[in-house]
Amino acid sequence: MFIWEDGMVEIYDHEGVAVRHGRARVNGIRMHYVTAGEGEPLLLLHGTPKTHFYWYRLIALLTPHFRVVAPDSIGGYGETDVSAPTPHGLLNRIDQARDFVDTLCLDRFTILGNSQGAFAAARYALENPERVEKMVLISSLTIGQCMGIEQAPTDAMRALMGYDGTPQAMRKMLEGLVVDRSKITDELIDRRQASATRPGAMEAMDRFLKATGGLNKHPILSMHMNLRDSLPKLTKVLPTIFVWGNEDPFALPETGRKLEPLLPDVKFHWIADAGHQVQTDKPDVVGDIIRQFVLGK
């Protein structure tokens, strides 16, 4: 495995932070990632349908304290190659994350995940506990389901599954993830639309989602999705917090409230006026929580 960087630095004026774009070849797949800042490493794992775009507001607040690394996952996301095989769906993200951090030579780090990325973070920590210092989880229906909590489909979920490749559907999908819809700008729509509709991306996403949907029916792979015993044991020894939006229309607050007593060693932070993409609605609040948790001050 080897890594290269394209040397491009972009300044996003609305955030005022320099973000370096990199390319790493991991298991023959060209993965795209962004990195910024210096200091203790912080690995950010996005969910569905997110990419590195959704971390920029948070990255701007974290870079004075951390070296932030945010990859685009396999499965048709962001600018990572669409050719990555994902026969096991979400579980393949854990393998790819493991090899990605090895490629970047990140020995120990804090791991942060949102939505499906929170499951990927937890599963990675379970399989590689010696590599993870602390863990930050954000609004995750996937973790709730893997802890045995049922939730009926919501309009936000239907908007995600109904994405048909049009800008209108992209806007509807993204607006279902936040409370403050002014955060869903035309620029963001254009960026995300270009990423989602590049050749092969929608097909890759479809394969990924279908494979993920079948995991709980598989006699062997379903065991890797079950966190009922393992996650409480992990969080007893690995410092962990959960951040959840009080207005989340995707992973409903009711789901988080049911999850909270199942993880007695995890502190839950309930954020007012925030949706599923808590760090987009309330970046200052989430940034302060992460900084205080990781640095202890």
- For the chain, list the domains and their CATH numbers: 2-295 (3.40.50.1820)
pLDDT in tens, 123-135: 999 999 999 999 9
Q: How far apart are CA 35 and CA 18, in angstroms?
A: 9
Residue that wins the pLDDT comparison between 77 and 121: 121
8: confidence class by pLDDT, cuts 50, 70, 90? very low
pLDDT at 73: 92
14: confidence class by pLDDT, cuts 50, 70, 90? very low
9: confidence class by pLDDT, cuts 50, 70, 90? very low
pLDDT at 50: 64
The amino acid occupying position 156 is A
pLDDT at 160: 84
Helix, strand, or coil here: 247? Answer: coil
Q: Check pLDDT > 70 for residue 3.
A: no
Q: How far apart are CA 53 and CA 234, in angstroms?
A: 30
pLDDT in tens, 204-238: 999 999 999 999 889 999 999 999 999 999 999 99
Among 11-15, 64-68, 258-262, name the most confident range: 258-262
pLDDT in tens, 130-154: 999 999 999 999 999 999 999 999 9
Strands (DSSP E) contained in the chain are 2-12, 17-26, 29-36, 40-45, 66-71, 109-114, 132-138, 240-245, 267-271
Q: CA-CA distances (angstroms) from residue 147 to 30, 83, 256?
A: 33, 32, 11
User: By the 8 A CB rule, do 53 and 191 touch?
Assistant: yes
- For CA atoms 296, 135, 55, 71, the dihedral sign is positive
Calculate the average pLDDT of the chain.
90
- Residue by residue, DSSP assigns 172-183 as HHHHTT-S-GGG
pLDDT at 54: 72
Within the chain, what is the greatest distance between any pair of CA atoms?
50
pLDDT in tens, 32-50: 998 988 899 999 999 876 6
